[in-house]
Amino acid sequence: MRTVLYLSAVVLLAVCATWAYRVNYATQDALNRAADLRADIAEEREALGVLKAEWAYLNRPDRLRALVTANAEALGLVDLTPEQFGEVSEVAFPPPPPPEAEGAETGAAPPAGPAPAAAHRRAALATNGAIE
């Protein structure tokens, strides 16, 4: 009887020791992985910081100014001026859709109306200004 008790104790000890050994190493693996991931995150954040700094640097006002000046013909951007504020009433309403096209082409955009040229230009300028 006593022998059985001893034997089972020894077996239990061996099982526990094996379990502890495995858990120990599994924990260390997990810790290593977490440390690696943290290092990766730190690296990514650093890269993000560099990208952010670079984005800000590429968007610095004097560079944008130089680019706008160099591409003035293509872009036509000008400084925002008080004249560029328009009124909603200055924008011509699109004419009512022609009566024969009712319901058939609801998805199609209404054709541009005969807006006064001046108001049209002002609206365009205002848009440009807002972008700049």
Residues that bind another protein (CB under 8 A): 27, 31, 34-35, 38-39, 41-42, 45-46, 49-50, 52-53, 55-57, 59-62, 79-85, 129
Q: Which two tokens stand for residue 55?
A: 């984005």
Nearer to another protein, 57 or 106 (CB): 57
- Least spacing, CB of residue 108 vs another protein, in Å: 34
CB of 1 to another protein, least distance (A): 28
Contact 55, 88 (CB under 8 A): no
**CA Rg value for the chain:** 36
Smallest distance from another protein to CB 102, Å: 39
Q: Which is nearer to another protein, 7 or 30 (CB)?
A: 30
**Of 80 and 97, which CB lies nearer to another protein in the complex structure?**
80
106-127 b/e (C-beta count within 10 Å ≥ 16 → b): eeeeeeeeeeeeeebebbebbe
Distance of CA 13 to the CA centre of its chain: 57
Cβ of residue 120: shortest distance to another protein, in angstroms?
17
Amino acid making up residue 33: R
Pair of tokens at residue 1: 């009887």
> Residue 22 or residue 38: which is nearer to another protein going by CB?
38
